[in-house]
Amino acid sequence: MEVRSMNELLEICSSEQKSISEIMLMMEIEKSGRNEEKIISMMEERLLKMKDAVDSGINDASTAPSGISGGDAVKMYEYVKQGKALSGSFISDAMTYSMATSESNARMGVIVATPTAGAAGILPGVLFSIHKNSGTPFKDLVMGLFTASMLGYVIANRSFISGAAGGCQAEVGSATAMAAGTIVELKGGTPQQVVNATALAMKSLLGLVCDPVAGLVEVPCIKRNVIGTSIAFSAADMSLAGIESRIPCDEVIEAMYRIGKDMPRTLRETSLGGLAMTETGKKVKERLFCRKS
Ligand code: SF4
């Protein structure tokens, strides 16, 4: 079995009468030669690693070795716990868990790249928020990882998933799109609604540049992960409400590819443009590496 586009994926789901996560599981069995039990247990391990990163992040207020990030997940966690968050519980918890994961990454902790380390906070953010707020069991979250994997697989094969190749639209954009689709499947949406949410989320981040300060995956990466979770929930809600993307998902992915190709090198993880070249961004780099930009 090969899945080369979202349209093809929808056709397979329809002919097999299966969900996107089930199709991904079938494909993985076929490609890897492992049995279902083994593949699910490997995915469970990844979910538990994600949980460890979240737990570590919400309990550790230390700064990263760079000194430019750390401690914000604890602040967010306390703020949400006090009932002060303006966003609803799904989004505010997802923001907290996403920040916790991304801060763990900055501290060199173990994370699961979904699809990359820079964008690793978004998927666990939404998954553990759904677990907390709607009681979705871990076994369903594991299947959610298969949904996200399939969406990421198609995006990666048709476009980019790294900031160096296509800008942050390819990293945070892809992760947000994967998370949006995953939320929809976990909440009982159809494969068409999953793909639609993927398109809605990705569209909202097209053109986002990759401009990490001092070349470190911290500023603006961590906060982009946090905000990615709210976009994922917004896209999922729109799709579950029956609102469609006017541009089909495969065409949105193609647009992301073309935009990435047009994006100058200075805005593709070189730290030669955008926020990295602001006055403060340059000072941070100078302080960390003791030389002028
Ligand atoms: S700014 Fe660049 S390094 Fe940071 S998350 Fe986005 S793509 Fe990754």
Bridge partners of 268? 210
- Whether 163 is in the pocket of ligand 1, judged by its Cβ within 6 Å, is yes
**Quick check: CB of 224 below 6 Å from ligand 1?**
yes
pLDDT confidence tier of residue 293, bands split at 50, 70 and 90: very low
The pLDDT of residue 170 is: 98
Q: Which residue ranges form the domains of the chain, and what is each CATH number?
A: 6-289 (1.10.4100)
Choose which residue among 221, 222, 227, 272 to substitute to test ligand 1 binding: the one with the highest number of ligand atoms within 8 A of its C-beta.
Answer: 221
pLDDT digits (tens, 9 = 90+) for 11-48: 999 999 999 999 999 999 999 999 999 999 999 999 99
Q: Residues near 240 by Cβ (< 8 Å), separated by ≥ 6?
A: 184, 187, 189, 193, 197
Mean pLDDT of the chain: 97
Please name the residue whose Cα sits nearest to atom 2 of ligand 1.
210
Can you tell me which residue has the tokens 């677990």?
131
Tens digits of residue pLDDT in 196-243? 999 999 999 999 999 999 999 999 999 999 999 999 999 999 999 999
pLDDT bucket at 291, cuts 50 / 70 / 90: low
Span 66-98, pLDDT tens digits: 999 999 999 999 999 999 999 999 999 999 999
Cross-strand partners of 210: 268
What 3-state DSSP class applies to 87?
A: coil
pLDDT of 254 above 50: yes
What is the C-alpha separation between 121 and 175, in angstroms, rounded? 9
Q: Is 221 in the pocket of ligand 1 (CB under 6 A)?
A: yes
Does the pLDDT at position 10 exceed 50? yes
Q: Is 237 exposed, middle or buried (0-12, 13-18, 19+ CB in 10 A)?
A: middle
User: Model pTM greater than 0.75?
Assistant: yes
Residue 8: partners with Cβ closer than 8 Å, 6 or more residues away: none
